[in-house]
Structure formats: structure tokens, C-alpha cells
Amino acid sequence: MKKNYILSLVCLAIINLTTITSIFAQPTAPAGKKWVAVPAMTDEFDSWDGSKWAYELWDYQVNIAEQPFIPTHMVAENGGVSNGKLWIKATYNQGAERWINSSRIVSKTMITYPMYMECSMKTNMLSCYNTFWLNNGDINGRDEIDMCESNPNPSMAGKDYMKTELASQYFVAKGGVTQRKHANFNNNNLPADNPKKGEPWGQSYRTIGIWFKDSRNIQFYLDGDEAGTIVITDDKWEFTRSMKILWDVWSQESSWVGGLPKVADLQDDTKNTMFVDWVHTYKLEEESTAVLGVGADALVFNVFPNPTTDELNVNLGSPIASGACVEVYNKLGQLVKTELLQSQENKIFIGHLPNDIYFVTVRNGFVRGTQKVVKL
């Protein structure tokens, strides 16, 4: 992972992409395997894709008597996709019992191990949890992994360590009993050569990743480096359920959350919004069925104009299968964009990508093809 991280930075330096967030490659795949994108859980957020994402607007409830009330209310208007970003805003709802309005966006697709997932995320500057997590949706029969549940600006005294802590953990609930374990990681412990070492949340976009290896082993990543590990040793508590992606923002006046946000901060649009630049999800596939190349595949498709400046037409000569997708890779073999195909004729926007050579792969059922394109 470290080598891939350095390679990404070198590439960025060469082409001077000072405004583009780094896209980190996946951990090295096991022998005989290759990482393949999962289009339904991968997005550059150029626009809202209703085939991939939905709102879930249930409110958090307190299940333990001594815990404080959670004054957060989820509403659709406080989340969405615009200007190339998924965003969730927390605002002040004066006079309401739940006086923090927020939102929650989830994937329509669920996934399990083995997989790798990462997102580029910038927290708000509120005393709230900014989250990126996985959950199967059943509180009583629950598998949950929290990749990030971090407070960038805690209002309680003595909680400044939260400003640089990647709060990660898991929950497994069976038979009314819940098992929980933390893997919290302070980014002051990142290697000395990582430029994000010691940087507080909310200053820039951070890349948060999870290598969900198997039913017992999880490796978290932060900005390209390992950042906390979970190992389950008891058969009873291993992961058994598929989970969906969730992002939300919420708060509670408890020491483990870090305290409630200030009303003035909720009313400040420079502080109250969490952003996600992209999310990439990968599954393992046999190497023999996942080779990226040009001209060696069975699927024939047309892609034009080539060269292009912003948009590609991707047209197939055969009906599309369920899950058919287009993937765009750069010269390093890194996935930089993926979309589900909606018909035999599709338009793919790549105007946000730097001018360079790319490889466009179309997967349709059990066949696929790859063509080289030039972005000017």
C-alpha cells in the first residue's frame, strides 16, 4: 500500500494536479487474484445516481437508559450530490426537540468480504460525528463496521485528541447480545513521510480505506497507510452478513461523542457540511478473468469522439446485461471512473479528468472489451 501511495504522489507531481485528490491503489491482491471494481458501490459523484444511492432518514434512538438524548433529525434536503461532491449538512432547527437537522445517504447494494473500499472525505468543522460505515440494517441481528466515526471539533474539554483520531470499530449483535471492539488510530502515528501526518480533520480531503479480508480480519487505512486492525478470535462473533455503505452526521452530549455543536457553527455554511469526493469499491476476481488489455477481449463496442475533451459516447452492438458497466483506467492501471450502463447507447463524462491517455473497459455479462482513448 505504501508503494502505491508514493506512486500516486509522484504521478500527481509530474502532471501538476494540485487541485485533484489522490486516488490510492488497493492493497496487493493475493496470488492468482486481481481487484475488480464494483460499479454499484463506486462513484465519482458527478451527479446523483438514483440506481446506486438512496436516503435513509431514521433517527438515532437511545437504547441505554443512562445515555443522553440524541437531538439529531434526518431530512432529505440536508444531503445530496452537487458540484462533483456528495454532501451532508447539519443545520439548526430552532425550537425543535431534535434541533440538529442532518441527513443520511446509503448504497442500494450490499457487499461482504473479501473486498476493499475507500472514499475521499472532508469532514465538517462541527462537534459532530462525521461517519463512513457499513451496516446490514438490523439492530438486533447486526454486522457493522465503522471506518470513520470522527469528531473534528469537540466541544467538551479534554477531547482535543479527537481532532486527529480516526475512530474505527465494529459491532456484531446476535441473540440480543452485542460484541464491540475499537481500532482507533491517531494520525499523529502515520509514518513521517506521509504529508497528512498530524493534520486535524476538516482541513482537507482524507482517503479512508478498509480491507475486509475475511470473516475475522479487517485492516483500516488512512491516506495510504495502515491505520488500525481488527482480529476476531471467537467463532461466535465473526461477520456473516452483507452490508451497505452509509454516510451521515450526528451528535450527542456524551463524552465518547465529544459534545454537542455550537448553534453558531450549525448556522455557518463554511463549517457545517461534510463532503465526499469519491468512493471506490473492489472485489477479488481470478487473475485469468480480470486482465486489463486492449484488443484481447470478445466484446466489441464503439467509443467516440476520440480524442475527446469532456464526453465519450459508448455504444454497444448487443443488449446490455444486468450490472453492465463502463470503467475508465489511467496509465497506471488505476480506476478513475466507473458507471453502470443504462442502455446500448451511453454518454460518459470525463471532463474532470486530466488530459492524458486512458483505457475504457466495458463489461457486459461474461464478456468485456477495452479501448484506448485520449483526453485533450
Angle at 145 between CA 141 and CA 151, to 5 degrees: 125
**pLDDT confidence of 146, banded at 50, 70, 90?**
very high
Catalytic, 285? Answer no
Q: What's the CA gap between 329 and 116, in Å, rounded?
A: 17
Q: Which of 44, 118, 149, 327 is catalytic?
A: 149
Predicted local confidence at residue 25, as pLDDT:
56
Among candidates 104, 88, 110, which has minimal Cα distance to 41? Answer: 110
| pLDDT for residue 375 | 93
The pTM of the full predicted model, rounded to 2 decimals, is 0.76
Quick one: average pLDDT of 84-97? 98
Domain range summary for the chain, segments of one domain joined by +: 2-285, 291-375
Give the other-Cβ count within 10 Å of 97's Cβ.
8
Residue 205: half-sphere exposure toward Cβ, Cα within 13 Å:
20
Closest by alpha carbon to 148, among 128, 158, 126, 133? 133
pLDDT at 188: 96
* Distance between CA atoms of residues 144 and 246, nearest Å: 10
Contact 59, 72 (CB under 8 A): yes
Ordered DSSP codes for 162-177: GGGEE--EEEEEETTE
Per the omega criterion (within 30 degrees of 0), is the bond before 307 cis?
yes
Q: Quick one: pLDDT at residue 290?
A: 42
Q: Please identify which residue in the block is written with the cell numbers 506512486.
A: 7
- Would you say residue 27 has pLDDT above 90? no
Q: Is position 66 annotated as part of the catalytic site?
A: no
Taking CB atoms within 8 Å and a gap of at least 24, the contacts of 46-49 are: 46/84, 46/349, 46/352, 47/81, 48/80, 48/81, 49/81, 49/339, 49/340
DSSP secondary structure string, 41-91? G-B--SS--TTTEEE--PPP---STTSPP--EEE-GGGEEEETTEEEEE-E
Look at residue 374 in the predicted model and tell me its pLDDT.
Answer: 92
Q: How confident is the model at residue 338 (pLDDT cuts 50, 70, 90)?
A: confident
Q: Are strands 185-186 and 165-166 parallel, antiparallel or unpaired?
A: antiparallel
Over residues 267-275, mean pLDDT: 98
Given the residues 56, 77, 97, 144, the one annotated as active site: 144
2 in helix, strand or coil? helix
Is pLDDT above 60 for 297? Answer: no
Range with lowest mean pLDDT among 102-111, 212-221, 228-237, 333-342: 333-342
Closest CA to 151 of 170, 131, 136: 131
Provide the pLDDT confidence category of residue 16 given band limits of 50, 70 and 90: very low
Assigned C-alpha cell, 108:
442500494
Note whether 137 and 163 are within 8 A (CB).
no
- Inform me whether the pLDDT recorded for 195 exceeds 80: yes
What CATH code is assigned to 2-285? 2.60.120.200
pLDDT score of 347 more than 90 = yes
Residue, of 228 and 2, whose pLDDT is higher: 228
pLDDT average, residue stretch 185-209: 96
pLDDT band at 193 (very low <50, low <70, confident <90, very high): very high
Averaged pLDDT for residues 214-234: 94
Average pLDDT, the chain: 87
Whole-angstrom distance, CA of residue 94 vs CA of residue 151: 23
CA angle 58, 60, 63 (to 5 degrees): 130
**CATH 2.60.40.3080 matches 291-375:** yes
292, 298 Cβ separation under 8 angstroms: no
List pLDDT tens digits, range 161-171: 999 999 999 99
8 Å CB contact between 370 and 361: yes
* pLDDT (0 to 100) of residue 23: 44
Exposed e or buried b per residue across 109-142, where buried means at least 16 C-beta atoms within 10 angstroms of its C-beta: bbbbbbbbbbbbbbbbbbbbbbbbbbbbbeeeeb
Neighbours of 12 (CB within 10 A): 16
Our measurement of the distance from residue 31's CA atom to the centroid of its chain's CA atoms, rounded to an integer in Å, reads 26
Model confidence band, residue 1 (pLDDT cutoffs 50, 70, 90): very low
Residue 12 has pLDDT above 70, yes or no: no
- Distance in angstroms (rounded) separating the CA atoms of residues 355 and 208: 27
Q: Output the pLDDT for position 220.
A: 96
The per-residue pLDDT for range 116-132, each reduced to its tens digit, is: 999 999 999 999 999 99
